[in-house]
Amino acid sequence: MDDFIWAADGGFIVDEDLHLVHVAADGTGKTTILNNASVVGLSSCADGKMIVFSWIAQGTGQYIQIWRMDSNGGNLTQLSFGKLDFNPVCSPDSKTVYYAESGSNRIMRVPLDGSAKPQLVAGSTVPNTIIGDPRVSVSPDNKLLAFVVTESGTQANSSNQRVALLDLAQGDQPHIRFLDPQPQISEGPRFTPDGKSLVYPIRANGVDNLWMQPLDGSAGRQISSFPSGLNRAFHWSPDGKTLGMLRYHVEPDVVLLRDTTASQ
């Protein structure tokens, strides 16, 4: 399993062996809703009717582009036409899809119904920075867009990464403010269901856990305590009461190489 999202009926839609499969919460009743699906960045819309994802080499050329479809697999529609369009997320009103266009270092938005072409999100191009992670998040009240920026020409580290909070309600010249993330941030943030905090993975000693950072500037805290393993995905349930995580372990192989030239 490479990714998952919650389904409106309490089950899950999972990315399994290049297929999107609907499965009940107890693991029974598997139904394939999309075959031969090499996808990344699976995300569900708040109304429970649509899901969005990046599809590899399905639309124009060998590119990664944004698609949407009904939660039962119907009405498959291409939404973006860039080269490297990653990690789409629906707005809380299920009308707009936001995503990172990594090839050109831009954050874009497009109507979920496909009625218009993608447009640059005003104010999202921060001077002297690049997008530090392709994952973006929209606040539950549809007013803020959160994403990570990294100082241009540098490697990502705690001193040059910031979380940008862009005001989506201010037109062509929106206000943007910044938060200093926990130094071990390893992935872009997501808003909590109450909209008061951001949650993102942190990596320490080869282990991923989740960190919650309030927007009001108060101290953050670690909210998971796994002793091992890495994070692949995390999503809140539709009612906002449960946080599901998909984790994995890397099992290294040991190979013995023997020099036989000395005995020849």
Contact 181, 213 (CB under 8 A): yes
- Asked whether residue 158 is domain-assigned, the answer is no
- Asked whether residue 144 is domain-assigned, the answer is no
Give the rounded percent of residues in the chain with a pLDDT score beyond 90: 71
- Asked whether residue 79 is domain-assigned, the answer is yes
With CA atoms as reference, report the closest residue to 227 among 258, 251, 205: 205
Residue 157 has pLDDT above 70, yes or no: no
- Please provide the average confidence, as pLDDT, over all residues in the chain: 90
Max distance between CA atoms of the chain, in angstroms, equals 77
pLDDT of residue 262: 56
Judged by DSSP in three states, 203 sits in strand
Alpha helices (runs of H) in 42-157, residue ranges in sequence order: none
Number of domains present in the structure of the chain: 1
Residue 254 has pLDDT above 70, yes or no: no
Residue 114 has pLDDT above 70, yes or no: yes
User: Which CATH number does the domain housing residue 14 bear?
Assistant: 2.120.10.30
Residue 154 has pLDDT above 90, yes or no: no
Give the rounded percent of residues in the chain with a pLDDT score beyond 70: 91
Q: 96 lies in which domain range? A: 1-120
- Asked whether residue 101 is domain-assigned, the answer is yes
Please give the Cα distance from 160 to 149 (Å, whole number): 8
pLDDT of residue 50: 95
Is residue 13 left, alpha or beta, with left meaning phi > 0 and alpha meaning psi from -120 to 50?
beta
Residue 237 has pLDDT above 60, yes or no: yes
Confidence of residue 103 (pLDDT cuts 50, 70, 90): confident
Q: What mean pLDDT do residues 163-168 have?
A: 96
254 or 264, greater pLDDT: 254
Residue 153 has pLDDT above 80, yes or no: no
Confidence of residue 169 (pLDDT cuts 50, 70, 90): confident
Residue 68 has pLDDT above 90, yes or no: yes
- Asked whether residue 43 is domain-assigned, the answer is yes
74 or 257, greater pLDDT: 74
- Asked whether residue 1 is domain-assigned, the answer is yes
Return the HEC string of 93-119: CCCEEEEEEHHHCEEEEEECCCCCCCE
pLDDT tens digits, one per residue of 133-152: 999 999 999 999 999 999 87
- Asked whether residue 78 is domain-assigned, the answer is yes
pLDDT tens digits, one per residue of 170-212: 878 899 999 999 999 999 999 999 999 999 999 999 999 999 9
- Asked whether residue 93 is domain-assigned, the answer is yes
